[in-house]
Amino acid sequence: MNTITVIGSINLDRTIRVKQMPKPGETMHTKEIFSAGGGKGANQAVAAKRSEAVTNFIGAIGNDEAGEMMRELLSEEGIELAGVQTLEKQATGQAYIIVDDQGENSIMIHSGANNAFTPKQVQAHADLIKASDFVVAQFESTLESTIEAFTIAREAGVKTILNPAPALENVPEELLKVTDMIIPNETETEILTGIKVTDEASLKAAADHLHQLGIEAVIITIGSKGAFYDVQDRNGIVPAFKVNAVDTTAAGDTFIGAMSSVLKKDFSNLEQAIEYGNQASSLTVQRFGAQPSIPYKNELK
């Protein structure tokens, strides 16, 4: 059983379901409105925990109703929250999500406390990082804190997994130097490498570019087609499961959390781990909401 420490974002998601996306200036009636747990970091932690990994979290919430709700939800999952700080002068992160009948979404995020915790807080929970098999991070919280966490992990022989989302134009070199595995989607890959992903040759070229930055393992998620991987001397595409998607929110997060729960530290079972991640995310997209849609291990059997 893997031990995963996630460093990153905790958001309260407010989802609005509509028939089609509104055009600028358009007013429309909604089909449904609901709140649920979200944030890329929290989603990935929930996915890892529901796949039975021992899961720790390092992040922050505000001293408000949304923060209280998120602490309670993550605590009910059995995620270790010693590393989650309550910040007095910050609001808890929140996301406003519009989902249409085709399952496409549009998301607006207020980062709040996610962008206010510091490397000092990470140092205070270095023991959680050192006792992990993998440390997972995204770009919805402070980069300085992520660099600190990955540096501690690298020195302790703990593998680091970076999900470079939402995409950033300039990713600090010092972060890439301490990243063992990177998991971008097609858009993020193009921003990171300058290579437009169109076929397997361009996927391989993008992966080679990322290897040159010092990253050992590359997984590029390619939506309904599945995931391309390149590690050591192995590469290829692990196809996605064909399902009827109703809401793609948290699909990528589910993939990363579930995959990291079964991945071996030497990446020797990467293909099998990707297939497991694909299976988990194929269930997520058939349900509404972020965390409510993430499957448990027994559902994947």
pLDDT at 247 over 90: no
Does residue 164 have a cis bond before it (omega within 30 degrees)? no
Q: Which pLDDT belongs to residue 103?
A: 81
Residue 89 and residue 17: Cα distance in Å, rounded?
32
pLDDT band at 63 (very low <50, low <70, confident <90, very high): very high
Q: How far apart are the first and last CA of the chain?
A: 17
Residue 270: its pLDDT value, please? Answer: 97
What pLDDT score does 244 carry? Answer: 86
Q: With left for phi above 0 and alpha for psi between -120 and 50, is residue 38 left, alpha or beta?
A: beta
Whether the pLDDT of residue 174 is over 80: the answer is yes
% residues pLDDT > 90 (the chain):
86
- Look at residue 249 and tell me whether its pLDDT is greater than 80: no
Can you tell me the mean pLDDT for 119-137? 97
Q: What is the pLDDT of residue 246?
A: 79
Query: Would the pTM of this model clear 0.85, i.e. be above it?
Result: yes
Cα 259 from Cα 152, distance rounded (Å): 22
pLDDT of residue 289: 78
| Closest among 119, 56, 66 to 90, alpha carbons compared | 66
Q: What pLDDT is attached to residue 104?
A: 84
Q: How confident is the model at residue 211 (pLDDT cuts 50, 70, 90)?
A: very high
Q: How far apart, in whole angstroms, are the C-alpha atoms of residue 164 and residue 160?
A: 12
Poorest-pLDDT segment among 42-46, 79-83, 93-97, 261-265? 93-97
Amino acid at the residue 60: A
Helix (H), strand (E), coil (C) string for 89-148: CCCCEEEEEEECCCCCEEEEEECHHHHCCCHHHHHHCHHHHHCCCEEEECCCCCHHHHHH
Q: What's the pLDDT score for residue 290?
A: 81
Asked whether the predicted pLDDT for residue 273 surpasses 80, the reply is yes
Which one has a higher pLDDT value, 80 or 285?
80
pLDDT of 248 > 80? The answer is: no
From the list 126, 97, 130, 132, the residue with the least C-alpha distance to 1 is 132
**Tokens 């996605």 — which residue?**
240
Q: Is the pLDDT of residue 106 over 80?
A: yes
- Which is higher by pLDDT, 180 or 300? 180
Predicted confidence band at 276 (pLDDT cuts at 50, 70, 90)?
A: very high
Active-site positions?
253
